[in-house]
Structure 1
């Protein structure tokens, strides 16, 4: 039976730096959970890679699943061990490499060398946003992502995408580069929030939640201006806004609003380091999740909220319709007055629009990891 390899370089790096998992990391951890018992770990750096022994693979998988920050030095020791082995070439004919993070494949040497070792790379593509909407990303990220996508199209044996919308974008990139699209499968991602019993309200007042890294495409800027208008109109009766997520890049105007806008003090609450338990509590009791993004490859917070029966106000994006059909209330991400009016309605205890969505939520079919890996496993069998 051919060996399965899991690239965990990004997961190990973030754990060593004591960084909480992002959405991409949560997906990677689910792959460790599903395949770890029968897989070998791969660590890569600057295009060079090393396959860990079965014993060291089991150790690193356990550290990652426990998110054991205390095991930092053990993880560093594994990295040193891997670095010493990087120039040793071990072939794995028919092996499958599962790479779920985008990180590292911008160096084509990595995937090219894997193919030379008899290993078939299978890449999970989360989005092509740096190529389609470079204005929302850090400088030079578009160039690096173009290299990742071209390496994927050139060397990958297969591609997994989180949505049909992402696959459509990848097909467009393949046409533009005049490169063939490898075999592919669409496998929706499950919610990243583990269901828990109903918890006490974290805030006594009505409140809304925004969930995700603070970055330009998430459109925090619009919502903060909406909240300033709410405070002007309603004063102390204005609902609160909980912004959950770390501060990212190119977001100085949002940070200025959070730190210096006096009318938002005590009304907008920033939770940069929110545990899963706190996140679950905030979502459970929210009037709605606000998701005003300009573009998304998937949108895991939408699935997380609807799985908890929490209403969602979302941008009118194709990928959101793919995941949630007509259940959320959709708005144009530039329609400030529309967001203001809908938030005012949803803040009321007798909101008819919120009640209507709560009824629609009952038919939401939550994606599951069992379904995701069922599709992926069947796809991998066609490649073996």
Structure 2
């Protein structure tokens, strides 16, 4: 049962158009925006500004959400995705070296200006939080602006309202070495903002929920009720034979995620240099899907200057979800050697496409993929090499075993996710004893 009145925070969606494709958190934010704004009952968008929150009516909020989605490449079919088409041609026909991938097909500068004009016009007309009906639930599903606690002080002026926040991870706190300088302190502030205002907290995994509760206890923060809702797999991620795919010229492995130290790309590239020395022209291919991130200079040096890497590794960004799904259906296996994850969405997306998964031995990977993934210590270089070589062999028994585990795997869905989330929201609006 949807809550009677809900205000969804649109701020992150509005600020993210500069990227041609969304991050994992962006995709969750978009899914929630579309879900709650389509529900019955009073629905509003809320935009955080330096002058206080501005409230948008449902039609204006929906128009902004769809305008932002149009600036990304999420809904582009694989056969119309120029990045995927170039990738399929390159990997299916010849060497990956020197592949010239097209620029993102969207004019994001123009789209961003259009959205900004729409937002500016809408917020100029918008009222403050006093426009929200009594008892409205405030829902914030990204981490944006939580490191600016003053942006949320307006909630003190509306004691009739309850706030629900989605916490995606505590990685900057637990692993500060993987973040930008000062990010650990900013994330502690975000968590404290959540703990100060939340009537309920949504998390994407049991691991994140437990880390949140331990952090609150250690910092003397009041405990908050938590609901675990595994992130769903979009319908576009479906097995071979149920969507576009191509036949690669050589075994092809995929790693998904922003290129940054936490994702352990450096180990993969050193592994591929070793594979090239061992196998020469028969070296499998590796496709890195994701834009370049921060503190990645050593990784970029290998991508741009190491001949063995240049010959056998393809870097691509700007794929649509349809293009990514088609790539996963075409590949040999997904490699996910991360040192830390809040969830690890590529693990379940690959599984939905029938693709064997080799992942680092993390609590969250065991939680979401323990039934089908082969897990390895992220520092076990020989183990990762053996896994890749075994999977790359023609008619590989190891690959058949991993693929067989996917047949009856119960994968998370957005339907189940939102059933749990909606139940938590309904219980929250009814009060802590409901």
* SS of aligned partner of 1:293: coil
Matched residues in 2 for 1:220 and 1:193: separation? Answer: 28
Verify: 1:7 aligned to 2:9, yes or no. Answer: yes
Moved over 6 A (4+): none
Structure 2 counterparts to residues 103-114 of structure 1, below 5 A: 103-114=144-155
What corresponds to 2:92 in structure 1? Answer: none
CA 1:47–1:255: 2 relative to 1, 3 Å: farther
Structure 2: gaps spanning 5 or more residues: 73-107, 430-434
- Using the TM superposition, name which of 63-72 and 20-29 deviates more: 63-72
Alignment equivalent of 1:144, drawn from 156, 178, 186:
186
What corresponds to 1:20 in structure 2? Answer: 21
Structure 2 counterparts to residues 212-361 of structure 1, below 5 A: 212-361=257-406
Matched residues in 1 for 2:291 and 2:29: separation? Answer: 19
Query: Is the CA contact 1:205–1:239 (under 8 Å) kept in the aligned structure 2?
Result: yes
Deviations 1:129-160 (A, max 9, x none): 00000101111111111111001001111100
TM-score (norm 2): 0.84
Structure 1: gaps spanning 5 or more residues: none
Query: Is the CA contact 1:33–1:65 (under 8 Å) kept in the aligned structure 2?
Result: no
Deviation of 1:294 (Å): 0.5
What corresponds to 2:99 in structure 1? Answer: none
What corresponds to 2:36 in structure 1? Answer: 35
Higher relative contact order (CA 8 A, sep 6+): 2
What corresponds to 1:116 in structure 2? Answer: 157
- Quote the RMSD (CA, aligned, Å): 1.9
What corresponds to 2:78 in structure 1? Answer: none
* SS of aligned partner of 1:355: helix
Matched residues in 1 for 2:58 and 2:398: separation? Answer: 55
* Number of aligned residues: 383
Matched residues in 2 for 1:332 and 1:72: separation? Answer: 42
Deviation of 1:308 (Å): 0.9
Query: Is the CA contact 2:237–2:349 (under 8 Å) kept in the aligned structure 1?
Result: no
TM-score (norm 1): 0.94
- Using the TM superposition, name which of 40-49 and 227-236 deviates more: 40-49
Deviations 1:53-78 (A, max 9, x none): 23322321332344475643442123
